Amino acid sequence: MPFARIACNVAIDQLRHEVEQLLLLNLQQPWVDHVNRHDYVGKWDVLPLRCQQQFVDAHPILQGFSIAAGDKWENLPVLEHCPHIKSIFAQLHCPVKAARLMRLAAGAEIKPHRDQGLGMEFGEARLHVPIHTSAAVSFLVDNQRIPMNAGELWYFNADQTHEVYNRGDEDRINLVIDCVVNDWLREKIQRGAVSE
């Protein structure tokens, strides 16, 4: 299944307020450009929120993009400003690994690519909560458009080819959460499967 909407209580106005506060704190916790530069055109950057424990005091690139093995994950200090984001984590009755805000600038695009092994059938799940988005943003998985709206929680199979186009005038910002698939999450994903 390429994608599914998962029931979750998201107060979008509160979430947007937290993101605006983080944007104001940019100097203390900088956003970092996505490291896979050949996979996108334009500006695509990340603000790490949760990372492997061994990288809590490391450079944000390691916090946001580490490929090292590890099973101990920890919230970064920036989450002290984000009680609603933490409440979203608390609604997930599965182990939460990495979390970050991902911003795709107006006019930018993420080229078709795969994140191998990142899908429910491999025991890993990537979840998205659109925070700032518009009808001009197209998020495609296996050539199917995910009908994401602000404040919704979505799973998508990142092991399948996916791409994103921001043809709008404003940046798109999503909360992105990587989780371990357990029975609870598997059932939520299967229940929320969407077919177009």
Categorize the per-residue pLDDT at 154 as very low, low, confident or very high, splitting at 50, 70 and 90: very high
How far apart are the C-alpha atoms of 10 and 150, rounded to whole Å?
Answer: 9
* Cα dist from 103 to 4, 117, 190, whole Å: 22, 23, 28
Q: What is the pTM of this model?
A: 0.93
Choose the most confident range, by mean pLDDT, from 41-45, 56-60, 166-170: 166-170
- Is residue 9 one of the residues assigned to a domain? yes
Which pLDDT value is given to residue 193? 79
Domain residue limits at 170: 3-191
List phi, psi (to 5°) of 124: -125, 145
Reading the block at residue 37, the tokens are 């530069």
Which pLDDT value is given to residue 22? 86
CATH assignment of the domain containing 79: 2.60.120.330
Under 8 Å CB-to-CB from 102, ≥6 apart: which residues? Answer: 34, 44, 45, 46, 173, 174, 176
Reading the block at residue 151, the tokens are 């404040």
CB burial string 12-50: b at 16+ within 10 A, e below = beebbebbeebeeeeeebebbebeeeeebeebbbbbbbb
Q: Of 104, 95, 127, 101, nearest to 18 (Cα)? A: 101
Helix, strand or coil, per DSSP, at residue 12: helix
- Is residue 196 one of the residues assigned to a domain? no
Q: Above 90 in pLDDT, residue 56?
A: no
Side chain identity, residue 91: Q
Categorize the per-residue pLDDT at 33 as very low, low, confident or very high, splitting at 50, 70 and 90: confident
- Is residue 145 one of the residues assigned to a domain? yes
- Is residue 30 one of the residues assigned to a domain? yes
- Is residue 115 one of the residues assigned to a domain? yes
- Is residue 100 one of the residues assigned to a domain? yes
Q: Above 90 in pLDDT, residue 119?
A: yes
Query: Do residues 129 and 123 touch, judged by C-beta distance below 8 A?
Result: no
Which pLDDT value is given to residue 83? 96
Average pLDDT in the chain: 90
Q: Above 60 in pLDDT, residue 195?
A: no
